[in-house]
């Protein structure tokens, strides 16, 4: 008896666009066994999502599909739209990347959950509600009775994603497809969701297809890994084999892009993959990775094609570790290691800053933070969504004014709105936002975007002078002068972020506030942006206030690290003081939540229960007390924790002298 629940054979998906036919999925052969989990990895544009949508038969009218997709022996491509309704949401469920788009904002959560079993199971409304409540309990969501009465906008992003997963498991499907469901979430929320997915898989004997560009996440949930590039499967095998000895150069390059423990900017450059994924015409053949491959030789393209490496491991190329081409892909040790920046005087000083939103119902976004950013250094700020990281950064930039406290820049009080700051001060502090697509004007060219601050703040009136300076800046961010006339919609996410960085550096600021500049990018683009930020800092000697929830990224780029929770500081110190070892229980929990890309590494899991406390209520004790796993007793809830100094530069706030 065939134990495979899904069998894909010679699947091709082409789209007819203006100018010809492009290939999105090409010659894909794939099997998924009962209760097996496979992870599909690759950069944006590699065809991962198109593959998942094709399984569900969610393809645009200009799409053409050939091949077969057999689900439990039935070919889905031969099913009519009416017949597919019996499969979608019932036997095959899908969880999408963005829960905001998946949930209807005008309907209660309970109504949307009930709808699934009402449609697919034909149960009564009372039975549907009980099934919905049970699904919420299965996902460890507290107060399910209250939750079903809320609307999506009344809960956090992590809870919204868990609602989407609850919706997917209501009918106990045989196959669940997850399309990057944790990309935009905090590491702690991501860890809880990944654990929940693993538990649900065991409980309901489901098969999983998990799509991501993050090898660490794939390692957490998958038994087998499928690597896609430009619509093709280029390698597949057990995760241990894929990690320990990848055969395709693309697989190895993708794994090596991710910052790992022990990699810091002073000693290493991150591996990058030059170029980007290009669209391929339906008639194009050969090796899709040839133009970006560092291991190519004149004869290797002719030998390209799927081959068996071992009984369960296949790859389209075996040149990942070829010795006839110099190896450039392991940790790139800098030829001239950069020395850690010496302790200097403070460029930015934040003194007991509070930021409260609202009048009747006050939200305490930043609650008494005091910290400094030293000249030529990087202060990394890490914490979950809602901890006040972005609010603190935007208050320093002048987008918000502090409710209480003082902000000094080079000794000058800047505790005012940006509108009241001098042009010279505006020049000194620049921002790089998380989403470059929203921070760049889509109707302006790259030349206009980068040249505007030059004209406004540096008063460079000569268009030719500005253009010459812009071309130099584009070279520094690895973009050519051909980009001058392009507009943001014509650029990839990585290219947009490079333009945003060039704009920020166009007026030679002394302080750059980077608000999660790499969280929405592929790992390959992320590594090139981090290398770029490191190089530009060496050249310009600017200081960074770098905000992120990814501790591997923070560890790589930062000199100092500040951990925040609900508007307050938990721990602060030099990078190695905070990371090795952490003292505050929350810092330990954050570190244990980061997915490791090496399957052989076992990390002690610390899972935080519950949600962040209500930011509208004054907390008399430690804000982390309700979720802390090593509480000192009642004192944690009634008394603010004292500051514990471990060195002149390292301190944390906890009632336990030695922390967790």
pLDDT tens across 290-308, in order?
888 988 888 888 888 899 9
Instruction: Write phi, then psi, for 262 (nearest 5 degrees).
Output: 90, -10
- In tens, the pLDDT along 126-166 reads 999 999 999 988 887 778 898 899 999 888 777 888 899 99
Three-state SS string across 239-278, please? Answer: HHHHHHCCCCHHHHHHHHCCCCCCCCCCCEECCCCCCCCC
603 has pLDDT over 70: no
**Under a CB-based contact definition with an 8 Å cutoff, are residues 412 and 425 in contact?**
yes
Q: Is residue 650 part of a domain?
A: no
Whether 639 is in a domain gets the answer: no
Q: Is the pLDDT of residue 197 over 90?
A: no
Radius of gyration of the chain (CA): 26
Predicted pLDDT at 485: 92
Calculate mean pLDDT across residues 526-552. 88
Would you say residue 446 lies in a domain? Answer: yes
Q: Which tokens belong to 36?
A: 């097996």
Higher pLDDT among residues 660 and 157, named by residue: 157
**How many domains does the chain divide into?**
2
pLDDT at res. 551: 83
Q: How far is CA 260 from CA 328, 332, 555, in A?
A: 17, 13, 9
Q: Is residue 28 part of a domain?
A: no
Bridge-partner residues for 501, per DSSP?
none
Classify residue 140: in a domain, yes or no: yes
Q: How far apart are CA 113 and CA 135, in angstroms?
A: 9
Query: Shortest CA distance to 175 belongs to which of 208, 130, 153?
Result: 208
Residues 474, 496: Cα–Cα separation, whole Å = 12
Q: pLDDT tens, 207-245?
A: 999 998 888 888 888 999 999 999 999 999 999 999 889
Q: Is residue 42 part of a domain?
A: no
Mean pLDDT over all residues of the chain?
87
Checking if the pLDDT of 597 tops 80, the result is: no
The 3-class secondary structure across 335-376, one letter per residue, is CCCCCCCCCCCEEEEEEEEEEEECCCCCEEEEEEEEEEEECC
Residue finishing a domain among 569, 602, 633: 569
In a domain, 97, yes or no: yes
Shared domain for 373 and 513, answered yes or no, is yes
In this predicted structure, the answer to whether residue 349 has a pLDDT above a threshold of 90 is yes
pLDDT tens, residue by residue, 380-433: 999 887 788 989 999 999 999 999 999 999 999 999 999 999 988 999 999 998
pLDDT of residue 175: 95
- Pick from 624, 618, 652: nearest CA to 636: 624
pLDDT digit string, tens, across residues 485-521: 999 988 877 788 889 999 999 998 999 999 888 876 7
pLDDT of residue 610: 62
CATH assignment of the domain containing 507: 3.40.50.300
Q: Say if residue 338's pLDDT is above 60.
A: no
- DSSP annotation of 607: P
pLDDT at 329 over 70: no
Domain boundary residue, one of 198, 224, 250: 224
Interaxial angle between packed helices 493-505 and 446-457, expressed in degrees from 0 to 180 and rounded to the nearest 10: 20
CB atoms within 10 A of CB 408: 16
Residue ending a domain, among 224, 243, 270, is 224
Q: Looking at the domain assignment, is residue 374 inside a domain?
A: yes
Query: Above 60 in pLDDT, residue 77?
Result: yes
- Specify whether 58 is located in the same domain as 207: yes
More confident residue, 29 or 529: 29
Provide the pLDDT confidence category of residue 335 given band limits of 50, 70 and 90. Answer: very low
| Position 619 pLDDT exceeds 60 | yes
Mean predicted confidence (pLDDT) in 67-90:
93
Q: What distance lies between CA 77 and its chain's CA centroid?
A: 33
Q: Are 527 and 393 contained in the same domain?
A: yes
Q: Identify the CA nearest to 260 among candidates 551, 573, 606.
A: 551
Q: Find the mean pLDDT for residues 97-122.
A: 90
Question: What pLDDT is stored for residue 444 in this prediction?
Answer: 94
Place 1 in a pLDDT band, splitting at 50, 70 and 90.
Answer: very low
State the pLDDT at residue 138.
Answer: 83
Percent of the chain with pLDDT over 90: 47
Domain extent at residue 136:
51-224
| Mean predicted confidence (pLDDT) in 189-213 | 86
My answer on whether 219 and 350 are in the same domain is no
Q: Identify the top-confidence range among 172-176, 337-341, 595-599.
A: 172-176
How large a percentage of the chain has pLDDT more than 70? 95
pLDDT in tens, 563-593: 999 899 999 999 999 988 889 999 998 888 8
């Amino acid at each position: 008896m065939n134990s495979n629940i899904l069998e894909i054979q010679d699947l091709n998906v082409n789209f007819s666009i203006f100018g010809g036919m492009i290939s999105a999925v090409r010659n894909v052969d794939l099997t998924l066994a009962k209760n097996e989990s496979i992870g599909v990895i690759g950069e944006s544009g590699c065809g991962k999502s198109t593959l998942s949508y094709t399984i569900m038969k969610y393809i645009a009218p200009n799409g053409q599909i050939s091949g077969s997709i057999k689900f439990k022996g039935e070919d889905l491509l031969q099913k009519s739209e009416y017949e597919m309704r019996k499969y979608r949401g019932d036997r095959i469920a899908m969880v999408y990347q963005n829960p905001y788009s998946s949930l209807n904002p005008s309907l209660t959560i309970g109504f949307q959950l009930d709808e699934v079993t009402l449609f697919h199971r034909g149960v009564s409304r009372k039975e549907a509600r009980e099934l919905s409540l049970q699904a919420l309990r299965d996902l460890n969501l507290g107060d399910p009775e209250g939750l079903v009465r809320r609307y999506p906008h009344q809960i956090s992003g992590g809870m919204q994603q868990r609602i989407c997963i609850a919706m997917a498991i209501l009918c106990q499907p045989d196959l669940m497809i997850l399309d990057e469901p944790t990309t935009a979430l905090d590491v702690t929320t991501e860890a809880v969701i990944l654990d929940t997915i693993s538990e649900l898989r065991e409980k309901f004997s489901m098969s999983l297809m998990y799509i991501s560009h993050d090898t660490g996440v794939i390692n957490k949930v998958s038994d087998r890994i499928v690597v896609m590039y430009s619509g093709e499967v280029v390698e597949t095998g057990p995760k241990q084999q894929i990690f320990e000895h990848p055969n395709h150069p693309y697989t190895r390059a993708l794994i090596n892009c991710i910052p790992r423990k022990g990699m810091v900017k002073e000693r290493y450059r991150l591996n990058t993959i030059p170029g980007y994924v290009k669209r391929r015409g339906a008639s194009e053949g050969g090796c899709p990775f040839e133009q970006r491959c560092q291991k190519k030789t004149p004869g290797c393209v002719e030998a390209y094609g799927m081959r068996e490496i071992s009984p369960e491991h296949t790859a389209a190329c075996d040149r990942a570790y070829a010795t006839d081409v110099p190896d450039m892909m392991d940790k790139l040790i800098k030829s001239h290691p950069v020395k850690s920046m010496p302790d200097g005087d403070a460029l930015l000083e934040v003194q007991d800053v509070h930021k409260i939103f609202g009048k009747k119902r006050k939200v305490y976004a930043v609650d008494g933070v005091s910290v400094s950013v030293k000249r030529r250094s990087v202060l990394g700020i890490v914490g979950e969504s809602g901890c006040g990281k972005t609010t603190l950064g935007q208050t320093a930039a002048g987008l918000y004014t502090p409710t209480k406290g003082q902000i000094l820049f080079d000794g000058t009080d800047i505790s005012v709105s940006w509108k009241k700051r001098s042009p010279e001060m505006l020049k000194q502090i620049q921002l790089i936002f998380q989403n470059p697509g929203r921070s760049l004007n889509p109707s302006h060219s790259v030349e206009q975007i980068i040249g505007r601050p030059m004209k406004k703040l540096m008063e460079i009136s000569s268009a030719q002078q500005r253009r010459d300076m812009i071309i130099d800046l584009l070279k520094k961010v690895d973009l050519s002068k051909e980009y001058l006339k392009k507009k943001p919609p014509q650029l990839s996410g990585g290219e947009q972020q490079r333009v945003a960085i060039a704009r920020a550096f166009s007026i030679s600021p002394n302080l750059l506030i980077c608000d999660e500049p790499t969280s929405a990018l592929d790992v390959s683009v992320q590594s090139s942006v981090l290398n770029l930020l490191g190089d530009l800092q060496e050249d310009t000697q600017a200081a960074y206030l770098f905000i992120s929830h990814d501790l591997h990224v923070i560890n790589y780029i930062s000199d100092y690290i500040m951990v925040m929770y609900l508007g307050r500081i938990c721990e602060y110190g030099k990078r190695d003081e905070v990371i090795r070892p952490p003292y505050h229980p929350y810092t330990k929990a954050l570190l244990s939540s980061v997915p490791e890309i090496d399957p052989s590494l076992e990390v002690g899991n610390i899972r935080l229960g519950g949600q962040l406390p209500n930011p509208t209520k004054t907390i008399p004790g430690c804000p982390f007390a309700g979720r802390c796993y090593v509480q000192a007793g009642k004192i944690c809830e009634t008394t603010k924790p004292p500051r514990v100094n471990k060195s002149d530069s390292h301190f944390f706030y906890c009632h336990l002298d030695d922390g967790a």
